[in-house]
Every structure is written in structure tokens, then in C-alpha cells.
Amino acid sequence: MGSGTSTRHHFAFQNAERAFKAAALIQRWYRRYTARLEMRRRCTWSIFQSIEYAGQQDQVKLHDFFSYLMDHFIPSSHNERDFLTRMFTEDRFAQDSEMEKCSDYESIEVPDSYTGPRLSFPLLPDHATALIEAFRLKQQLHARYVLNLLYETKKHLVQLPNINRVSTCYSEEITVCGDLHGQLDDLIFIFYKNGLPSPERSYVFNGDFVDRGKDSVEILMILFAFMLVYPKEFHLNRGNHEDHMVNLRYGFTKEVMNKYKIHGKEILRTLKDVFCWLPLATLIDEKVLILHGGVSDITDLELLDKIERNKIVSTMRCKTRRKNEKQMEEKGKANRKSSAQEPIPWFLPQSRSLPSSPLRFSSYKAHKTSRSSSIPCGGCLDRRELSRQVRSSVELELERCRQQAGLLVTGQKEEPSRSASEADSEAGELQKPTQEEWRQVVDILWSDPMAQEGCKANTIRGGGCYFGPDVTQQLLQKYNLQFLIRSHECKPEGYEFCHNRKVLTIFSASNYYEVGSNRGAYVKLGPALTPHIVQYQANKVTNTLTMRQRISRVEESALRALREKLFAHSSDLLSEFKKHDADKVGLASKQLCHYQQK
Amino acid sequence: MSSTRGPATGSLSTASRAPEVNEDIRFPQEEGGSSVKQRRRKREIGTIIRSLGCCPTEGELHDLIAEVEEEEPTGYIRFEKFLPVMTEILLERRYRPIPEDVLLRAFEVLDSAKRGFLTKDELIKYMTEEGEPFSQEEMEEMLSAAIDPESNSIHYKDYITMMVIDEN
């Protein structure tokens, strides 16, 4: 009996042990499988992101190059001078007659056959919801209403401060959304899931409403409409894509011209104005700061509060103001003390900066300390004398042309006494921002957080900087803030905390790179401003796929994109490889390095 | 395929391995430079080691991390410390991956009645109660791919075949 039981026990024990071991084995194997899947996902992500940022970097570099040419072009003949002035005056006409154009929408007739939504001002909540419904049914808003809405939007924006101050005592909850990038489905989903904006439901949209997606116009219409209907509860921040120069490359300009064949140009012109009047940041209860990109070690909220934000029409290009010589000297000294050396454009031989990728660690380390890499050119170089001559001669020509054309000099801030002012197509009657003001804005619109301490130039994007946890801490302490909400970077889960949960990245465009690539998210701030995140993925298909299938699909897409790039640059790559035959560097990193350069 | 993905999945040759480890560590880091966050070490280091072809248990992983982390945990693991340990592991061919037939036998052990499948509940029970239990997330993930929704069970032979093909 006894032995029987003990044998049974023995067997039982053995069985249990075997089951345990078997289970452990399966788990061990499965974990390795998922780890490899995760690695594939990250590689895919890296590929997409590198391509995205390389594109941005390209644009900045190209832009720097042309800006430099413009700065230093000396018109050697009458013809060339004419050419320059023609280039400048074309826009100038537009600028000056813009005032008329703005109210010109009234002359645009809406045919009776038009079945889309009709707006009347002042807007009512019903109008805004009607817009959403109409766009959901793929209708298009007539150009007249678009222009009307933009005109009213600008009138409203002009009254707003650079930093919106919001208080939670009025509305019970505040929802903050990140990049939408023309993805209307995501916006509709957010309103559906979270509720429409109302006096009890505040919203903050943190920039990058346009570009890349196909419904940027519709998104803008909806956002602006709600802003006009609920001005106290609905807030918009400017993103780096609310910028006509960036739009040229990333699809918004094209979308507008496609959808509005007759009035597209006018719409774009008006938009240029609207974008530069968007507020730069939102502050909730003086505790939570919301801005699009990030901060830098020189971010000065008081300064940002005071600048004339509409002077910064595009962060791509900025002719900064030249004061008369005495002031220039002082300011120059002050600037040089506060910031690092003046950036030398990347294409000049003296430049120490090389276009760097996240993988080229040798050159990367060299830049850790200095910030002299390819930051969007501020236009201030040591060739002042030369440029001043150029400018004054061109300026004189412009004066003459203006008089010839019989244009009235409008009462806006003209600079007849400023002999050293730049002749810029944008400039006209607007005063230019100073180098520091411009950099402050670029920093908050373009920067990304990083894990290491410190603050270094964001060479991958070509603008702003990478800021470390110490920079965040310093800023939060200086202004007595609790945490920072920003967007600007796509995250797989739609959101990400970093810097010890002091920085929250929120990204609201799901499936951004490809169907299944990432979730979108928005954050609700409850009492005591605790964040509560809601995630989603606006695509029925992805929910039914397993992780493995999703990753495979996204991977395929990334590899396809990579293949196209490689194909486009194959001859360059071959010559590079031949040069570096001895190296044992992994293939993938090399390829990424190279097309980052191109 | 594998050429664009970083370190090859093929056999471990000794000398050429070390530089590939370099690339692998750096590749997935966005701005990490030469450090890996310790806060997520179980996932990060585990992910890295496993994607290099090794198949350690959670316990072995834990010991490994203890070996490479700083005396006073700073929240980071230094690459310089990690590299020699990892190289040794690779050279010794430690934590070898599990061959298909061994995996099959493991499932068969759990399938005491030798039916050729495990029910969903049985799988959950074993994976979350035995061995080194799965988290709920891991369990759900496994279920989504493994379970045949009609029969609500996992036909493990087919499952293994499918996963192994996918690996390559």
C-alpha cells in the first residue's frame, strides 16, 4: 500500500515536474520569438523615421543653400537687378493688395448646384458640426466659404496672445491632441469617441494639422470653425508644418491646388497669413505647458510672450533684422554670449558640421558640445559689409519700382531709415524678428527630447535641438511648471512619457507610416491635471490582424520604401561601397547613412 | 531579406560577430547612443540578446543583467560592460535556440491525452501558472495567433510549423 502510494506520488511529482519544464520551454521559445518580432518592428520604424527626417533635413539644407545664394548675390548688371526685383515685387503686389483680396470672397459666387455646407458668420455650433458631417460624406467646402472662414479666423487669431492661458475651472476636462497630418478619419474618431467640443469640453490641438494626409483642408476647416464657435474652450498651437514653405514639399500646397483649381492660390496666400498668427503655446493653469516640438536650454517664455509672432512667417527662412551699426554691435555681442557661435551653413568648407545620421557615431560625438551644425540659416554671416551693399542697392531698386508701380506705401511698419534692412519678399512692411526671437520659435516648434543630459543641435531634422532631462527640469523649475506636453514625433503607441514622466509626447495620427504602423492617442487632463491617455487605431482592418501580421505588413512597406530609395541612388551607393570595401560595417547602417546624406 | 535587417540570423561565426553586435545595439536606439535604459532592461536587453539568436530563460536573463549592471544601478547599462559578456555568450553558444522537435515534445507533454491539441483554457493555465508565467499581455498575444477560433483550441503541430516558417 505504502509503496503504491509513494510510487503514485512519485509519478505525480515527475509528471508535475515535466509539465513545469515543458511549459518553461515553450515560454522560453515564445519570448525569443516575440523579441525577434520586436526587433523587426524597431528596424522598420527606424527605416520609416530616417526617411522622414532625411526628407526634412534635405529641405532645410536646400533652403539654406538658396538663402545663402540670395544673401550674397551681387547684381552685376542691370538685367540681374531687374530679375531680383521682379522676383521680389511679384509677391509684393500680392502682399499689398492682400487687404482687398481678403474681403474679396464676397465676390465669389456660389452656384445653386452646390450641395455642400454653407456657412454664415458669426458661426454657430451647428455650422461646425455640419462641416464634420459634410466632410464625412466626402463633400467639399466651396472656396468662398473657405476664404470667408480663413478671413474670420485670422481676425480672431490676431487678438490671441503668443501663449494661450487656459484655466480648468471653467471647463471640466481638457483634451489635448497631437499631430493629425491631414488624417480626417482620426479627427472624426476623436470627436466621436471623446465628444464634440463644447463649453464643458475643452480641446487643445498641438500643431501639425496639415501635410502628408489627404484631408488637410477639411481638418483646418473643422478646427478653425470650432475655434470661432468656442473661442474660450478651443485652442490651437502652431506646429512646424503650419508653414507655407514646408507645405510646398509635404503635400498641403498640392492638395489645396488640386481641390481648389480656381481659388487655390488665393487660399494659400491667405493661409500663409493665418499660420503665422497661430499661437505658439498653451499653458494650462500655469502648470502644464503645451507646445509642438519641445524646448531648448535657451527657451525664454517671457521673451516668447512678447515677440510679434506673425513676423516669423516661416521657420525655414528668416532674414533677421539688422539694426543700425551701434545696436548691431551690442546685440551681436549679447547674442554671441548667450548662444554658441553663429552657424556656418553646411555647404561651406569652413563648416565643421557634416550631415549626420543617428548611425554615424564618429561625427555625432564631435557635435555633442557645440551647436554649430546645420541649423536653418539665420542669414547672419561675417560678410556683413558685402551683404549690406547688396541689400542697399536692391532696396533702392525696389523703392524705385514701387514708385513706378504707383503702389501706396501702407502705414505698416516701414523702414525708410533702416538702410541696412534686407530686401526680402516677405519683409515688405513687416519688421523682421531678431536672430534670437527666431531661434526661440524654431526651438519650440522643432526640438525633440533625448535621453542624455544636455542640449545639442537637432541635425537630423535640421532645426531646433535635442534637449535632455536636465533642460526639461531646468525649464519646469524656472517657470514653476508641472510637466510638458508636446507632439512632433510619431510614437508606436501614440504617446510616450520621458524625462521621468515630465515630458509627454502625444501623437494623434494613427497608421501614420503605413496601415498598422502605430496607434494614435489623445490625453485628457482631469482635476489636479493628471493625464489620462486614450489610444486608438482608426482602421478596421488592423484590429483583426495579429501582431505578427501587422508587423510583417508594415515591414514590407518599409522595405519597399527603402528599396525605392536604394534604387534611386544605386550608382552613388556602388561607388561608396567600392571605396569602403575594407570596412566591416553592417550593410543596413551604411545604406541608411548614405541616403541620409543625399 | 536578412541583409537589410542587421545581424544575420544564420550560423554564428566567431570573428565577424563582434562588429555585428555593435550595430545591433545601436540600431534600434533612437537617441540612446551607447547606453540602454535599465528601467526597461528586462525587455530591452532581453530583446537584444534574443534577437541575436540566443534563447535564455527569464531566470538566466535576470542573472545576466545582474552581471552587467552597475554596482549602484544608475538606470543605464554600459555598452562597454555588456559587449564582452555578450560576445562570450555568443562564442560559447550559450542559450541555444530550441529545435522544432523538442518544442513539439514539450507540447505533447502538456497534452497528456495525446489528442494533438490543447484547449484554450489548458494553454492559458499552463502558460500562466507553470514555468516562468506569462504576463497577461504575453498570453493574449500568444492566443491571438495560436488559437483556432472555431475549435477554441491550439493544434500545436501546425502552430509550430507556422511560427518556424515565419522566423525565416
Predicted ipTM of the assembly: 0.75
Q: Tell me whether residue A403 is in a domain.
A: no
Question: Smallest CA–CA separation between B54 and chain A, in Å?
Answer: 8
Q: How confident is the model at residue A429 (pLDDT cuts 50, 70, 90)?
A: very low
pLDDT at position A8 is: 75
Q: Tell me whether residue A199 is in a domain.
A: yes
Do A477 and A559 sit in the same domain of this protein? no
Do A305 and A444 sit in the same domain of this protein? yes
Q: Which of A474, A481, A486 is nearest to A443 (CA)?
A: A486
8 Å CB contact of B130 and A359: no
Q: Tell me whether residue A99 is in a domain.
A: no
Residue A86 confidence (pLDDT) above 90:
no
pLDDT at position A544 is: 55
Residue A140 confidence (pLDDT) above 90:
yes
3-state secondary structure string, B24-89? HHHCCCCCCCCEEECCCHHHHHHHHHHHCCCCCCHHHHHHHHHHHCCCCCCCEEEHHHHHHHHHHH
In angstroms, the CA B108 to CA B104 distance is 6
Radius of gyration of chain B (CA): 18
Q: CB of A208 within 8 A of CB of A241? A: yes
pLDDT at position A415 is: 37
DSSP string, B5-35: GSS-SS---HHHHHHHHHHHHHTT-SS-TTE
Q: Which residue has the cell 542697399?
A: A392
Q: How confident is the model at residue A292 (pLDDT cuts 50, 70, 90)?
A: very high
Q: CB of A521 within 8 A of CB of A513? A: no
Do A215 and A312 sit in the same domain of this protein? yes
Do A115 and A62 sit in the same domain of this protein? no
A69 or A444, higher pLDDT: A444
pLDDT at position A181 is: 95
Residue A475 confidence (pLDDT) above 60:
yes
Q: CB of A320 within 8 A of CB of A420? A: no
In angstroms, the CA B99 to CA A396 distance is 81
Amino acid at position A558, single letter: A
Domain end point (choices A493, A513, A537): A537
Q: Tell me whether residue A56 is in a domain.
A: yes
Active-site annotation of A, residues: 241
Q: Tell me whether residue A523 is in a domain.
A: yes
What is the maximum alpha-carbon separation in chain A? 120
Q: CB of B29 within 8 A of CB of B37? A: no
**Range A464-472 average pLDDT:** 94
8 Å CB contact of A46 and B7: no
Question: Smallest CA–CA separation between B130 and chain A, in Å?
Answer: 5
Q: Tell me whether residue A195 is in a domain.
A: yes
Do A153 and A267 sit in the same domain of this protein? yes
A1 or A301, higher pLDDT: A301
Residue A352 confidence (pLDDT) above 50:
no
Question: pLDDT (tens digit, 9 = 90+) per residue, B85-108?
Answer: 888 888 888 888 888 888 888 888
pLDDT at position A345 is: 55
Q: What does pLDDT average to over chain A? A: 76
Which range (A88-92, A215-219, A314-318, A463-467) has the least confidence? A88-92
8 Å CB contact of B16 and A40: no
pLDDT at position A276 is: 93
pLDDT at position A545 is: 60
A537 or A6, higher pLDDT: A537
Residue A351 confidence (pLDDT) above 70:
no
8 Å CB contact of B6 and A548: no
DSSP string, B142-155: HHHHH-BTTTTEE-
Question: pLDDT (tens digit, 9 = 90+) per residue, B11-42?
Answer: 333 333 343 444 444 433 333 333 444 334 54
In angstroms, the CA B113 to CA A28 distance is 24
Do A257 and A166 sit in the same domain of this protein? yes
Question: pLDDT (tens digit, 9 = 90+) per residue, A233-271?
Answer: 999 999 999 999 899 889 999 999 999 998 999 999 999
Q: Which residue of A has its CA nearest to B50?
A: A32
Do A500 and A557 sit in the same domain of this protein? no
Domain end point (choices A537, A566, A588): A537
pLDDT at position A357 is: 34
Of B51, B106, B145, the CB nearest to A39: B51
Q: Tell me whether residue A370 is in a domain.
A: no
Do A147 and A268 sit in the same domain of this protein? yes
Q: Which of B74, B139, B35, B7 is nearest to A26 (CA)?
A: B139
Q: CB of A146 within 8 A of CB of A267? A: yes
Residue A93 confidence (pLDDT) above 70:
no
**Residue B66 per-residue DSSP state:** H
Give contacts of A591 with chain B, Cβ < 8 Å.
4
Q: CB of A182 within 8 A of CB of A212? A: yes
Do A474 and A580 sit in the same domain of this protein? no
Helix (H, G, I), strand (E, B) or coil at A345: coil
If you count residue pairs, one on A and one on B, with CB atoms under 8 Å apart, how many are there? 153
Q: Tell me whether residue A194 is in a domain.
A: yes
Do A442 and A585 sit in the same domain of this protein? no
Residue A485 confidence (pLDDT) above 90:
yes
Cα A385 to the center of its chain, rounded Å: 35
Q: What residues make up the domain containing A64?
A: 37-74+545-597
**Range A188-215 average pLDDT:** 93
**Residue A316 per-residue DSSP state:** T
Q: Which of B55, B59, B54, B50 is nearest to B28 (CA)?
A: B50
**CATH number for the domain that contains residue A120:** 3.60.21.10
Do A312 and A227 sit in the same domain of this protein? yes
Q: State which H helix or E strand residue A484 sits in.
A: strand A483-486
pLDDT at position B64 is: 84
Residue B131 confidence (pLDDT) above 70:
yes
Q: How confident is the model at residue A77 (pLDDT cuts 50, 70, 90)?
A: low
Q: CB of A444 within 8 A of CB of A239? A: no
Residue A568 confidence (pLDDT) above 70:
yes
Do A198 and A133 sit in the same domain of this protein? yes
Domain end point (choices A517, A537, A557): A537
pLDDT at position A75 is: 62
Which range (A187-196, A212-221, A370-379, B60-69) has the least confidence? A370-379
Looking at the 3D structure of chain A, how many domains does it have? Answer: 2
Q: Which of A94, A146, A77 is nearest to A117 (CA)?
A: A146
